[in-house]
Amino acid sequence: MTIGLESPRQDAVSALLAEADAVAVRLYPGARHRPVTPESLAAPGTHLLVARRAGEVVGLCALIARGDGAIELKRLIVSAAIRGAGIGSGLVREAQAEARRLGARVVVLEVGDRNVEARSLYRRAGFTPRDPFPPYRASPASAFLEKAV
């Protein structure tokens, strides 16, 4: 497996984002969803890590510079066909390393309360609870986590 910074404007990235949106709709039926697009991931201050296995895109996550010494980890996605192979853990480790390279002191994230797999991944990686951060507000459907880098 390789993980590196890549352009979000790839068909394989679009496919993973669509897969993640379908999971969100299944986990949170009837809720308001904010899909992430390749165009939004190409915004200034956003860095996309892409995991590849045998050349194929199998996972990704976005890092968004917040300008306050924090990097937001957003949309960590691993293809359903390959979950359990350590791709998510690898993306979290590389996200932390990239956050350090970018000069951040902390990685923050928001994760849905029903996304048990993701919450477990972040807990194993050492993330701890924190208060909501802008633009988010407290919600029983969300958990807010952080980890110093």
- Residue 64 is predicted with a pLDDT of 96
Query: Which structural domain range is residue 88 located in?
Result: 2-110
User: What sign has the CA pseudo-torsion 36, 42, 47, 50?
Assistant: positive
CATH of the domain at 29: 3.40.630.30
Look at residue 146 and tell me if it is in a domain: no
Look at residue 62 and tell me if it is in a domain: yes
Look at residue 100 and tell me if it is in a domain: yes
Residue ranges, the chain, pLDDT below 50: none
Look at residue 79 and tell me if it is in a domain: yes
- Residue 25 is predicted with a pLDDT of 87
- Residue 35 is predicted with a pLDDT of 78
d(CA 25, CA 92): 24
Look at residue 140 and tell me if it is in a domain: no
Closest CA to 101 of 129, 127, 65: 65
- Residue 88 is predicted with a pLDDT of 97
Give the count of domains, the chain: 1
Whether the bond between 135 and the residue before it is cis, its omega within 30 degrees of 0, is yes
Closest CA to 31 of 18, 40, 21, 39: 21
